[in-house]
Structure formats: structure tokens, C-alpha cells
Amino acid sequence: MPIALGPFPPLGGSHSGLPRPRILYIDAFDSFSNNIVGLLEQSINAVVSVARINDVEVSRCLLDILRAFDAVVIGPGPGHPAKPKDVGLINQLWQLQEADILPIFGVCLGFQSLCLSHGARIERLQRARHGTVSKIQHIDMDIFQGIRNLHATQYHSLYAVLGEGTTTWDSTPQCPLMLPLAWDSSDELNGPILMAARHLYKPFWGVQFHPESICTSKEGMDMIQNWWSRAQAWSISRQRSVTIADPDMTAKIDRLSAVAPPGVDGMRATRDICLSDSIDGMITDVKFDLVRNAGTFLWRKVPWPSITPVMLCENLNLDRSRIVMLDSQGHATGRFSIIGIPTSGQTQAPEITYRSTDKELCYTSRRGELLSAQVDSISRIWPILQDTLDRCDPRSYDRYCFTSGLKGTLPESVPFWGGFMGYISYEAGLETIDVKPHESCYNDGRQDIKFAFIERSIVIDHRAGDVYVQSLLPDDECWIREMRAKIRSKRICLPKLDALSVWDLYQRLRLKNPAPHGAYVCLGDTVILSSSPERFLRWDRKGLCQLRPIKGTVKKGPDMTRDEAHKILNSSKERAENLMIVDLVRHDLSGVVGAANVRVPKCMVVEEYETVYQLVSVIEGQLPTSEDGKSTAPKGLDVLKASLPPGSMTGAPKKRSCEILRDIEKRPRGIYSGVLGYMDVGGGGDFSVVIRTAIKGLDKEHDTCDVWDIGAGGAITIQSDDKAEFLEMETKVTSALRAFEAEKQVDI
């Protein structure tokens, strides 16, 4: 029989006017941490501070720091609880002396560590459970009291064994101090797996499943409330209360962030590199040059239903060797196509580039002058981009716009008025999470970030059938007029089809694999032909952010009906892949906008594309609006940089997965797996995930022929079948290869 630990009187509701619980969350470099922080905030109104397992200062001053908290929650994480590197300071918590003890709740790795430190064995599951949802049998007491049906998500390969024999609710001779509270017996191969336990008399609890997952039923929240009542009751019975010793300690605690930082040691541990004055000077010069023209915005709207961006480029005879075209076809997410025109007469749009390997920041000015410097990290780039956008926002000037005689109006519905267009590579994303690139990247030579500052643009609103001609350049009425006249004439010049140009290849690609996030990018030595179906991140001018991860792919074919595709995409394998990314993206987004502002309007819906059916989820979050005031408030760019590289291309936990992938792949992914899109001076942005995309090799690599790279891959989970995964990869690569179909030499 279980030993009851009561009586535990319920202590007020979660929002009952009592002081808010102060919780120290220990993050083990996981990609779900911010979801747990959100669960604590929402279920018990907690104020949460986050410390990483390798935080030296927290480890050193642990006892003093713990006194400032009501309880500790230890999160999930990669690796093994017996490996000191994987658990870091977590082990110190199990050694606390009687006088220092406080309530602790462990999730997954935190739970396994609790069990291990109290005598349990940690074993490997016969079949790992990553993204599997199953029914939990529990004891209906303690933290499970009053909880009926609990379906919970699991993400683990290891499990804790308290003793030999079958399911029991008693402690075992091997672990006399641990009491089982829940089991999962749904997987015959694995047998019954311990899902929750508590210490017999210390206030230590833990669960193997993930109460914070989007697919764990609301009972996960009830369980946390139960835990908190018990934790409080324990503290009252011990007369334990929160104390902060001195101002020095207050400062130490304030230093802890409210969310898990995306980088390894976050902003707190950025290296103290003194940049020379010349680099700071260069950055100032770059910013100054970028905003040189700020203050004007001219635009005209011309109706032209059914025009495509390709037809428009040809009709306007735009220089296809220097252009960025974001081409949206055939999907609700693709209402607008955007053409950025980086050349104007003798001058060209300023361009900013960055390479992660040698941390070289380069700037090419309008007159073609090149400035370059080595900076300390990628974090130098973001403020340059953000400041430029802010300072070029036409709404900050009063002489900004003219349209059909209307002064002072803006095309509000148009998502791009001008701003940065370009890409961020996968390896740049790795730098943001402090994963070193593979050594082969050092010979690559490719820029990891490239953005042109686009002052002239043409936007097609496919839904309304309108074309917008826009310029941020001063005195540019002539150009606007010229473009408008050409558009009005609606004369289409057919391209010459002699030698197969890159432009022709793109036309084939868009015909053969129409996609909502297609792109044709020609910027110097960068040539990208994309037919991506996947939006990475969009944010609008009101701060609404949307991520649309795709995970789950079924090839279309004569035998593949929609129903059949639904059946496959609703299998546990496909759902597990998708669920993991939904939870990961919720974490990334919550880290910037706060978990309370994140929702999942679509969870695992099937969408149909030209060659494939895909399983798609939509995660949205609201940034503070500008009316909320503070200039330090996070913006769309903050979400972008906190979410790289795209979770759908990494898996979870992101950092550990990326390290493993790097060591397996042994070569850069480059622009493939990165993101491509724009950031608008009016405050919005939209980026796709660079997949189903052909990228031209750098000219200097091959002098006899053009080489194109088309990356493709797929999520591999324990439920994957290797042949099926290979076919899936082939299906994906073939969708972009269609552009080259007529060519003879196509090596996969």
C-alpha cells in the first residue's frame, strides 16, 4: 500500500492573492524549457528564474540562492543522468542538508536524476519514446489526486528502474526511499515504465513524461497545482520561507533570466572581448551609410490581376542578374510576391554579409566600396539590421508618401515597403546556439548571412490583383512613373530561350513545383532558386508572429489518395515527428514573447502541395505592440535570432541534435536548412526555410561547368524505416530537381 504523506491541506488557488511562488528552474540545455516555465506561470502563477546546469556562479552560491526561492524545478535534457556534464549542478540538489532542503520537482532528465541519486538503475528503453503520447496510470493520490484521465507526451530513451518485479505502488528494497506514483504499461516491448515517483519524506517529486507538451492533456496543469499545494504544505510545516541574504545576492538572482537563453551561456556569459575602436567606428559608418536616404517613401498602385512575378520581371525588363524575388504561388500563406531591385542606375543597394567561421563582417556601400572587419560574434549583426529598419521606417518622417495625389498615406496591407532581403545560413544559426561548425566549413568561403538593403521594390498582391511600385530613395518619382507606365501597358515580352539561363531554370522550377515560398535570388555570387513549401517565421507590423513547421511528408502519386495520405500522416511516427517540433517551436517563441502569448491554432493538419502531402502545424505568438512602449521590448528580429536554425531542420533538443548532426554530416549545410526572406522598414518580416531549393556553387570552385546543390533530408526517429526515409529524401530532392529535368547530367 502506498504510504500517505498527508495531511496536506490545500492552500489557496493558484491565483489567490498569496505571494507569487518563486521558482528556480534548472535548464539542462533543453528545447522544451520555456514551455515548462510557461506551465509554472500559468498553473500556479509562479515567478520563474532560469539557471543553466553549468552556471558556475549558481553552483558556487547554490545554498544562498536557494534561500531566495520557494521551490526548484529541474527540467528535461539530452544525455544521461549519470554523466556529470549532462546534469551539472543538479547533483548538488540531491545532496542538500536537512536545513537547506526545499521542494524540488524533476521532469524527465530531472526525474531520472532524482531516481538515480536514490538508488535506481537507469536503463535504455527497448524502443525510445520521442513524441509518443500515451495514457498514464497513476495512484490517484499525492500529485495525481483527483486527476482522472491523464494522456501525456514522452520524450525519452532512458528510464528509471526502482526495483525488480512488476508494477508496484510500494517502495522497493533497492530504493527504499522512493515511492512510485505512476506507470505507463501501454508499450508491450518496453514493458511497464515508471512515470512518476516521490521521495518518501523529502519534498522531492519527479515525472518521466512531459506535462508541458501541447499534447499532454490539461491534467498536466492540475498535477502541477497539486504539486504546488504539497510543496507549500511542506514549507509551512517546516516554517521555511524565502529570504534574500543581501543586496549582492539580489543582484545575483536578478541576473538569472526569466527564460532559457538560446545560446550556451546566453547573454550573461558572452565573451568580454574589447573590440578595437576601429570596428566600432566601422559599425557606426555602416549604420550611417545604410540610413543615408531615410525619410522618403514613394509608391503607386496599379491593378493587374493574374500577373506573376516572373512575367512582371520580364515585362519591366529588370536585371535578372541582380534581383531578389520572393515568389508566392498557390497557397493561403502566399498572398504577396515581392521583387527587390538592388540596382539603381550607377549605384547598387548596400549589402551586408557575415561569415561565421572567421567572423568577418563585410559591407558594400552604394558606390561599391568594401569595408570589412572581424567582429566578436554574430550578435554584432542584429543591431545593425534593427537600427537601420527602425531609422528608415517611413512613419517616423512626415514627408513620406505620395500616391495618386494622396499625401501621407501608406499601403498598409503591403507587408514590405523596403528593407533587407537575403538569407541566413544553417551555420549562422549554429553560431546563435553556440555550436561550432564542422571544420570543413572553414574552406567553404560562402557567406553565412547576406542581406541587400532594398530601396526599390515591386510587390504583387495576388489576392487583390494589384501591383505596388515602391521606392525609399529620394527623388525617385521618375523611376516610379516609368515602372507604372510599363505595368499599365501590360505588354509581355517573351524571353529568348536560346541558352538555358538561370532565369529559365527558375521558370521551370516554379511551373513544375509551384510553392508558396518560392524565391529567385541573384546577388553577386549568390544564386538561389527555391520552391520551398515551408514558412519559417513571419511577423507582421502589429507584432503577430507565426511559425509554420512542416514535419511529415508523403509522396503524391496515382495510388496515393488524399485519404490514404491522411492515414499515413496520422500515424504515430509522423505525429511524433511533428509534435516534437511543435513543442520545440513553442519553446523558441515563448523565450521571446512569453509562454502566455503563444498559441497553436493548427496542430498537425495535412496540406497538399504539387508533389507531396505535408503535415503542418501553426504556432503563433504576440510581441508587445509599440503602444506597450518600451524601446527594449522584443521585436520580430529577436524571435528570428532566438529560433535559428529552424527546428524542423534540427530536431530536439536543438543544440545537442545539431552537434550530433554536424559530426555525422561532416560538411556544411550552408544556405540549405537556413532561412530566406525579408525584414521590412515598417516592422514586419517573413522568412522561409530553405528546402526544395537549388543553390549554385561558387564560380571559383568550378571553371568548366555550373554546379548546383540541392539539399534534402528528413527527420529520422526511432520509428523510422531506413528505406522509407531514403525514398522520402528522394521525393524531396526530386521536387526541386524538376527544374533540371531536361538536362542530361543530373547526379543525385
Ligand X SMILES: C=C(O[C@@H]1C=C(C(=O)O)C=C[C@H]1O)C(=O)O
Tell me which amino acid residue 465 is: G
Q: Show contacts with ligand X in window 618-647 (CB under 6 A).
A: none
- Size of site (CB under 6 A) for ligand GLN: 11
For ligand X, which is the closer residue by CB, 551 or 656? 551
80 exposure class (CB count in 10 Å sphere: 0-12, 13-18, 19+)? middle
Question: Within 13 Å of residue 273, how many CA atoms lie on the same side as its CB?
Answer: 12
Q: Taking the complex as a whole, how short is the minimal distance between the CB of residue 155 and ligand X, in angstroms?
A: 17
Q: Which does 552 bind (CB under 5 to 8 A by kind): ligand GLN, ligand X, none?
A: ligand X
- Size of site (CB under 6 A) for ligand X: 16
* CA-based nearest residue to 601, from 584, 623, 586: 586
Q: Is 718 helix (H, G, I), strand (E, B) or coil?
A: coil
For ligand GLN, which is the closer residue by CB, 531 or 719? 719
Question: Can you name the residues that pair with 23 across neighbouring β-strands?
Answer: 48, 71
Q: Torsions phi, psi of 458, nearest 5?
A: -130, 130
Write the CA distances from 583 to 214, 578, 712, integer angstroms.
7, 9, 23
Instruction: List the grid coordinates of 375.
Output: 567582429
Total residue length of the chain = 748
Which of residues 21, 38, 76, 591 is near ligand GLN by CB under 6 A?
76
Element (DSSP H or E) covering residue 92: helix 90-94
220 part of the interface to ligand GLN, by CB under 6 A: no
For ligand X, which is the closer residue by CB, 83 or 567? 567
Q: Which does 612 bind (CB under 5 to 8 A by kind): ligand GLN, ligand X, none?
A: none
Q: Which does 78 bind (CB under 5 to 8 A by kind): ligand GLN, ligand X, none?
A: ligand GLN
Question: Can you name the residues that pair with 135 across neighbouring β-strands?
Answer: 151
Q: Which does 295 bind (CB under 5 to 8 A by kind): ligand X, ligand GLN, none?
A: none
| Stretch of 61-69, 76-84, 496-504, 700-708 contacting ligand GLN, by CB under 6 A | 76-84
Q: Taking the complex as a whole, how short is the minimal distance between the CB of residue 226 and ligand GLN, in angstroms?
A: 21
Q: 729: how many CB neighbours lie within 10 A of its CB?
A: 17
77 part of the interface to ligand GLN, by CB under 6 A: yes
260 part of the interface to ligand X, by CB under 6 A: no
Q: Show contacts with ligand X in window 512-551 (CB under 6 A).
A: 534, 550-551
Q: Show contacts with ligand X in window 670-729 (CB under 6 A).
A: 689, 691-692, 711-715
- List, in order, residues 6 or more apart from 714 with CB less than 8 Å away: 553, 725, 728, 729, 732
Q: Show contacts with ligand GLN in window 140-199 (CB under 6 A).
A: 155-158
Q: Taking the complex as a whole, how short is the minimal distance between the CB of residue 382 and ligand GLN, in angstroms?
A: 30
Q: Which does 76 bind (CB under 5 to 8 A by kind): ligand X, ligand GLN, none?
A: ligand GLN
Q: Where are the alpha helices (DSSP H) in 174-271?
A: 219-237, 247-255
Q: Taking the complex as a whole, how short is the minimal distance between the CB of residue 732 and ligand X, in angstroms?
A: 4
Q: Which does 157 bind (CB under 5 to 8 A by kind): ligand GLN, ligand X, none?
A: ligand GLN
For ligand GLN, which is the closer residue by CB, 208 or 673? 208
Question: Can you name the residues that pair with 523 across neighbouring β-strands?
Answer: 526
Q: Show contacts with ligand GLN in window 82-111 (CB under 6 A).
A: 108-109
Q: Torsions phi, psi of 136, nearest 5?
A: -100, 130
Full DSSP string of 102-168: --EEEETHHHHHHHHHTT-EEEEEEEEEEEEEEEPEE-SSGGGTT----EEEEEEEEEEE-SSSS--
Q: Taking the complex as a whole, how short is the minimal distance between the CB of residue 35 and ligand GLN, in angstroms?
A: 12
- Cell numbers 501541447 correspond to what residue? 214
For ligand X, which is the closer residue by CB, 231 or 710? 710
Which positions lie near ligand X, rule CB under 6 A? 534, 550-553, 648-649, 689, 691-692, 711-715, 732
Which positions lie near ligand GLN, rule CB under 6 A? 76-79, 108-109, 112, 155-158
